Amino acid sequence: MPVDLSGAADATLATRAAEGDERAFEVLLRRHLGLMTAYATRLTSSRADAADVVQEASVVIWRELPSLQVPEAVRGWMMKIVSRKAFDLIRSRRPTSDVDDLEVPSESGAHDDPERVAASQDAMGALRAALARLPAGQRQVWTLREVGGESYADIAERTGTTPTVVRGLLARARETLTREMEAWR
What residue spans in the chain does CATH classification 1.10.1740.10 cover?
1-93
Q: Which CATH architecture has domain 98-185?
A: Orthogonal Bundle (1.10)
pLDDT of residue 44: 83
Which fold, 1-93? Rna Polymerase Sigma Factor; Chain: A (1.10.1740)
Helix (H) or strand (E) holding 5: none
Give the tens place of pLDDT for each residue, 140-183: 888 888 776 778 888 888 788 899 999 999 999 899 888 888 87
Question: CATH 1.10.10.10 residue ranges in the chain?
Answer: 98-185
User: So what's the pLDDT on residue 137?
Assistant: 87
Give the pLDDT band (50/70/90) at residue 114: confident
pLDDT score, position 146: 79
In the predicted model, is pLDDT for residue 103 greater than 70? Answer: no
pLDDT of residue 140: 85
Q: For residue range 57-100, what is the model confidence (pLDDT) as tens digits? A: 999 999 999 999 999 999 989 998 998 898 888 877 754 444 54
Residue range 30-63, pLDDT digits in tens: 999 998 998 888 888 888 899 999 999 999 999 9
Task: Say which residues have a Cβ less than 8 Å from residue 89's Cβ, sequence separation at least 6.
Answer: 44, 49, 52, 53
Mean pLDDT of 127-149: 82
Alpha-carbon distance values, 116 to 93, 107, 121 (Å): 28, 10, 9
Residue 19 Cα distances to 13, 56, 65, 136, 168, angstroms: 10, 21, 9, 32, 37
